[in-house]
Chains A and B, each alone.
Chain A
Amino acid sequence: SQTIHQWPATLVQPVGSPLSLECTVEGTSNPNLYWYRQAAGRGLQLLFYSVGIGQISSEVPQNLSASRPQDRQFILSSKKLLLSDSGFYLCAWSTGNNAGNEQFFGPGTRLTVL
């Protein structure tokens, strides 16, 4: 069966510091991978998605970047964090060939920028 991991689970960082969040998927190959941010416990904002190694699509111009160095690894980064980067970051995967684009989410990373 497939599983998705995210780490760290929580992170407190000062403004201006770098960021690296990691997401890995097990039990599937060539998944589509997604990064979302959720502010104030409500809506899901798609930040980046990837349909293959080295392929990154950015949805919202911002202070963050994403990379996919391996088939089942997706990394969210920032060189200098802003206060507005605080939020709950969710990674998700899909098979890319299913009928409804069902996505399956990881447990999330709670980021607080002080």
Chain B
Amino acid sequence: GQQLNQSPQSMFIQEGEDVSMNCTSSSIFNTWLWYKQDPGEGPVLLIALYKAGELTSNGRLTAQFGITRKDSFLNISASIPSDVGIYFCAGPGGSEKLVFGKGTKLTVNP
């Protein structure tokens, strides 16, 4: 079945630094989704990408749909303490399902 490889697994950064994480798929996707999960809460959809090459921003977050349609990137600029959490990528998993990456756990030191 489809698999998503998300990296890095975890990141420890200083407040103010930029963050970059990525996700690769074993098959072509027509949609990429990025979620953030705050500790103890449900994941929240941050950005949805629908077109190869698409670059979309949401505040300090920017995500890109890779031109090969097998990868996507999420960047966070000028990190702040509330950026702490787990970031998940996701894509269509067939039959109304999603397939998720295993997450990137972000820790921001003030």
Residue positions of A touching B, CB distance < 8 A: 32, 34, 41-44, 46, 49, 51, 57, 90, 92, 94, 96, 99-108, 110
One of B55-63, B76-84, B93-101 contacting the partner: B93-101
Q: How far is the CA of A7 from the CA of B42 in the complex (A)?
A: 13
Q: Which chain B residue has the least Cβ–Cβ distance from A43?
A: B102
| Contact between chains at A46 and B103 (CB < 8 Å) | no
Name the interface residues of B29-45: CB closer than 8 Å to any CB of A: 30-31, 33, 35, 39-45
Q: List, in ascending order, chain A residues with CB within 8 A of B39's CB.
A: 41
A-B contact list, 18 entries, CB within 8 Å: A32-B96, A41-B86, A42-B103, A44-B100, A49-B97, A51-B96, A92-B42, A94-B96, A99-B31, A100-B30, A100-B50, A101-B93, A101-B98, A104-B45, A105-B42, A105-B44, A107-B41, A107-B42
Q: How far is the CA of A110 from the CA of B98 in the complex (A)?
A: 22
Please classify how large the interface on chain B is, using the bins under 10, 10 to 19, 20 to 34, 35 or more.
20 to 34
| Contact between chains at B41 and A108 (CB < 8 Å) | yes
Residue positions of B touching A, CB distance < 8 A: 30-31, 33, 35, 39-45, 48, 50, 86, 88, 90, 92-93, 95-98, 100, 102-103, 105
> Total A-B pairs in contact (CB under 8 Å)?
58
From A44, A96, A100, A107, give the contact of B31 (CB < 8 A).
A100
Q: Which chain A residue has the least Cβ–Cβ distance from B43?
A: A105
**A49 and B96 contact, Cβ closer than 8 Å, known pairs A42-B86, A43-B103, A100-B33:** yes
Q: List, in ascending order, chain B residues with CB within 8 A of A92's CB.
A: 42
